[in-house]
Structure 1
Amino acid sequence: MELSIADLLAAYAKSVLFVVAGVLPIINPLATAPIFVSLTGELSEDSRLWLARRVGRYVMVLLMGAMLIGSYVLHIFGISLPVVRVAGGLIVASIAWNMLHAQSVASQDATSMAQSLSEEKARINAFYPLTFPLTFGPGTIAVSIAIGASLHVRTSLPTTIANMAGGLTAAVLLGLLATLTFRYAPRLLRMLGETGKIVFLRLMAFVLLCVGVEILWDGVRALLVSILPAAAG
C-alpha cells in the first residue's frame, strides 16, 4: 500500500505531538525553573544565558539518543520492544500518578541540591546537576526509550522515517523550550505564581497519564498478538 504525502505529514505531526506530550510533563522545565534560579543566583546574565542554552542542547541530544538508539541497545540484552513499551508505559503512568498527587512542584531532593554556583563552576555543572538529573533524569531516559520504540513501526519504511523525523523535531522543540524557560525563569515565576505552577503541573500530569496508558496498551496488544498465534498453533 503506497502512502500519500498527506499520510506521511499526518504521521509526522502525530509523532511530534506524541513525543512532546509524553516527555514534556516529565522534563517539566517550569518545575525545575525555581531550582535553576536558585543555583544560578550569583551568576551574571551572560553566564545564565549560556547555561540555559547548554542545558537545552544537552536535553535535545539526550532525547534524540534515547529515541534513536535506546531500543537497539536494549535489543543487545535480549529485551523486546513490546516489553519496553509495557515497562515504559507503567513508568509514565506511575510518574503521572505521583505528579497528580504531589504536594509541591519541586521535589525535596532537587531542592536540597540548590546551592548557588560560582562563575568558575557554572560550565562544569551545566550537565550535572542542571541537565542530569534535575532536568533529564533516569525516568525521562526510560520513557524516551519507550516512546522511541513506539515510533519504530514495522508497517513501512516511509512511515518509520516520518515518525522518527517527528520525534527528532520534538526533541529540538523540547530543547528550545527548556532553554527559553530557564532563560526567562525569573519572569515566568513572577507571572505564574504558586497557584499557576500547581495548576500547570496537574494538567501536564493528566496528559502524561493518558500517554502512559497509550504506551502500555501498545505493548500489551503487541504481546497478545505474538502470544495468541503461538497458543493457537
Structure 2
Amino acid sequence: MIAFFKAMILVPITLLPLVNPIAIAPIYLSMTGPQEPDVAKRMAKRIAVNCFFMLMVTIFVGSYVLNFFGISLPIVRIAGGIVVGMAGWKLLNDQSQDKLLNSVAASHTGAWSKEELRRRSFYPFSFPLTVGPGTIAASITIGTQMPRKPIDWLVTSVASAIGVLLTTLVVYLCYRFARNMGQFLGDVGGTVLMRLSAFILVCIGIEIGWAGVSELLSDLAR
C-alpha cells in the first residue's frame, strides 16, 4: 500500500509544476476569448481527456519509442527545455499579448463548431500549451522508473494512472473556471499573471534544459 500511494502521489507532484494549469489558465483564456458556459465546459473536458491519454502514452510507451529511435532522455530534456523557454520568452516579450483579450473578444463570438472545438482542443491547447515537451520528458522519466516485477509493475501502473487522472482533473477545473478566475483578477491582474506565467515558463525551460546538459556532461566525465 505504501508503494501504491507513493507512486500515486509522485505523478501529480512531478507533473503539476510543469503543467502549471493555474498559471496557464489566463493564457488559455486569452487565446479562447469569451465562451458560453456549455462550450467552456466541453472544451475543458476535451483538453483534460486529451492530456490524460497523452500522459498515459508517454509514461507507458515513451521510453520504448525513444529506444527505438535511439534518442536519449537528456536530449529530450534539452530539446524540451529550448521549446518551453522559447515559448515563455515569446509570451514575455510579445507586446500584443497585453491587447489579446480585447482582440480575441472582438473577433470571436464563442460559437465554435464541433469540428473546430475538437481541433483546437488538441492543438494548441492540449499540446503544447498544457502538455509540452518538458511534461513529456518528465512523464517518460516516470515510465523509466517502473519496477520490472509483474506484480509491482501492475500496482505501480494503477497508481500512476490514478495520479494522471488527478493531474488532468486539476487541468479540467482550472480551464473550466478560467473565466471566473479572469473576472476575479480583472484585465490588469490577468495581464500581470500572464506575464508572470511566461517568466515561469522561461525558468522551467532553462531548468529542464540544464538537467539534460548536466546528464550529458556527467556521462562524458565517466
- TM-score where L is the length of structure 1: 0.68
The equivalences for 1:71-86 within 5 A come to 71-86=63-78
Q: Which amino acid aligns with 1:96?
A: G
> CA separation of 1:161/1:136 partners in 2, compared to 1, >3 Å: closer, same or farther?
same
Q: CA deviation at 1:116?
A: 4.1
**Deviations for 1:18-44, whole angstroms, at most 9, x for unmatched residues?**
311112269823312244344x44xxx
Query: 2 CA distance for matches of 1:214 and 1:152?
Result: 20
Counterpart of 1:193 (choices 165, 186, 195) is: 186
SS at match of 1:28: helix
Aligned to 1:126: 117
Q: CA deviation at 1:128?
A: 0.7
The equivalences for 1:128-147 within 5 A come to 128-129=119-120, 131-138=121-128, 140-147=131-138
Query: 2 CA distance for matches of 1:49 and 1:25?
Result: 16
**Deviations for 1:73-125, whole angstroms, at most 9, x for unmatched residues?**
232222111211121122223223333334316869x949x644658x33x33
Structure 2 unaligned spans of 5+: none
Aligned to 1:17: 13
**Higher fraction of helix:** 2
Q: Which amino acid aligns with 1:84?
A: V
Aligned to 1:220: 213
> CA separation of 1:141/1:93 partners in 2, compared to 1, >3 Å: closer, same or farther?
closer
Q: CA deviation at 1:200?
A: 1.8
Structure 1 unaligned spans of 5+: none
Counterpart of 2:80 (choices 76, 82, 88) is: 88
Query: 2 CA distance for matches of 1:170 and 1:18?
Result: 10
> CA separation of 1:84/1:105 partners in 2, compared to 1, >3 Å: closer, same or farther?
farther
Q: Is the 8 A contact 1:89 1:216 kept in 2?
A: yes
Q: Which amino acid aligns with 1:78?
A: G
- Across the aligned residues of Structure 1 and Structure 2, the Cα RMSD in angstroms comes to 4.0
Q: CA deviation at 1:193?
A: 0.9
Query: 1 CA distance for matches of 2:201 and 2:136?
Result: 15
Q: Which amino acid aligns with 1:197?
A: G
Q: Is the 8 A contact 2:58 2:143 kept in 1?
A: no
Query: 2 CA distance for matches of 1:207 and 1:187?
Result: 22
Q: Which amino acid aligns with 1:143?
A: G
SS at match of 1:134: helix
Larger mean Cα displacement after TM superposition, 83-92 or 155-164: 155-164
* Count of aligned residue pairs for this structure pair: 216
Query: 2 CA distance for matches of 1:26 and 1:212?
Result: 18
